[in-house]
Amino acid sequence: MSLLVVGTVAFDAIETPFGKTDKIIGGSGTYGALSASYFTNKTNICAVVGDDFLGSDIKMLNKHGVNTEGLQIKEGEKSFFWSGKYHNDMNTRDTLATELNVLADFDPVIPESYQGCEYLMLGNLTPQIQKTVIERLHKRPKLIVMDTMNFWMEVALDDLKETMKMVDVLSINDEEARQLSGEHSLVKAAQKIIALGPKVLIIKKGEHGALLFNENQVFFAPALPLEDVFDPTGAGDTFAGGFIGYLASTNDTSFENMKRAIIYGSALASFCVEKFGCERLVELSDETLNARVKEFIDLVQFEIEMA
């Protein structure tokens, strides 16, 4: 099934305890589309960049089967730029620079060839733009996954709640779930958030894994214990992209299949953090990915015979 990924395509400059980068390609749309491309060869991206964006990066996306027809290039403008420095624990970071540039007046254009997509990933962006994308699709996709962040809960909560009502799956982290619901218990938080619209909620807990909730069920996927986390940038977007990419490729939106999708998303995210930016994400083979998924199976599999 075809997948549309909407998000940012941007430049990031990243500093971690292991080193630092110049401007490299980043953004929720980039990570989401690259991750999804391991499952489906019908990944379309909708995003905007400036004329400083490199042709080689567009070619890289195309090489991974990502259709960039919906990637607007604004002449005379600069691409969105983010710069951040991670602390030693890798769980916290300081934002050094955020230059919206082309993102300030991003008006998503959906090419005709994208119409009819069955799966839609709304990567982290203003909730208003996420909503606009849904409205500009002639036919509602079979499944819409929305990623967002605490920033929008602070500056655009009404828009966020509006858009949340229109999606099937919401993906946020544990602190965001607590902030959005006002509940410390993630079980209670999930119930409150599901009552706000999305049928399924994913709560990402970083190195502690992820929880998948629907109204009646809960599933837990671990994160792989890693020797080193080199750079966490994009891990959440990669996770979401792998999740929806797997669902699109199998065209099965049951809770059972979402469990599998979350394991694949976690596996992709575990690669993402091994190198800077999407360096690791662009070089995986099917064998490498399958071996990693096997590690997840071994990590949690046990056998107990119940009477």
As a whole number of angstroms, the distance between CA 302 and CA 227 comes to 23
| Segment interacting with a second copy (CB under 8 A) among 4-12, 63-71, 138-146, 178-186 | 178-186
Q: Minimal distance in Å, beta carbon 254 to a second copy?
A: 12
The answer to the question of residue 215 lying near a second copy (CB under 8 A) is: no
Instruction: List the x/- string, 257-276, binding to a second copy by CB under 8 A.
Output: --xx--x-------------
Q: Using the rule CB under 8 A, which residue among 208, 215, 254, 288 binds a second copy?
A: 208
Q: Binding to a second copy (CB under 8 A): which residues in 73-112?
A: 88-89
As a whole number of angstroms, the distance between CA 213 and CA 187 comes to 9
Q: Using the rule CB under 8 A, which residue among 219, 252, 275, 284 binds a second copy?
A: 219
Q: Using the rule CB under 8 A, which residue among 222, 275, 279, 282 binds a second copy?
A: 222
Q: Using the rule CB under 8 A, which residue among 54, 96, 195, 300 binds a second copy?
A: 300
The answer to the question of residue 284 lying near a second copy (CB under 8 A) is: no
The answer to the question of residue 165 lying near a second copy (CB under 8 A) is: no
Q: Using the rule CB under 8 A, which residue among 54, 96, 155, 226 binds a second copy?
A: 226
As a whole number of angstroms, the distance between CA 265 and CA 233 comes to 15
The answer to the question of residue 170 lying near a second copy (CB under 8 A) is: no
The answer to the question of residue 256 lying near a second copy (CB under 8 A) is: yes
Contact 47, 29 (CB under 8 A): yes
Q: Using the rule CB under 8 A, which residue among 73, 137, 162, 220 binds a second copy?
A: 220
Contact 160, 148 (CB under 8 A): yes
Size of the residue set binding a second copy (CB under 8 A) = 38
The answer to the question of residue 149 lying near a second copy (CB under 8 A) is: no
Q: Minimal distance in Å, beta carbon 195 to a second copy?
A: 15
| β-sheet bridge partners, residue 169 | 145, 200
Radius of gyration of the chain (CA): 18
Q: Minimal distance in Å, beta carbon 233 to a second copy?
A: 18
| Segment interacting with a second copy (CB under 8 A) among 109-117, 159-167, 193-201, 287-295 | 287-295
Task: List contacts with a second copy (CB under 8 A).
Answer: 88-89, 184-188, 205, 208-209, 211, 217-222, 225-229, 256, 259-260, 263, 290, 293-294, 297-300, 302-304, 306-307
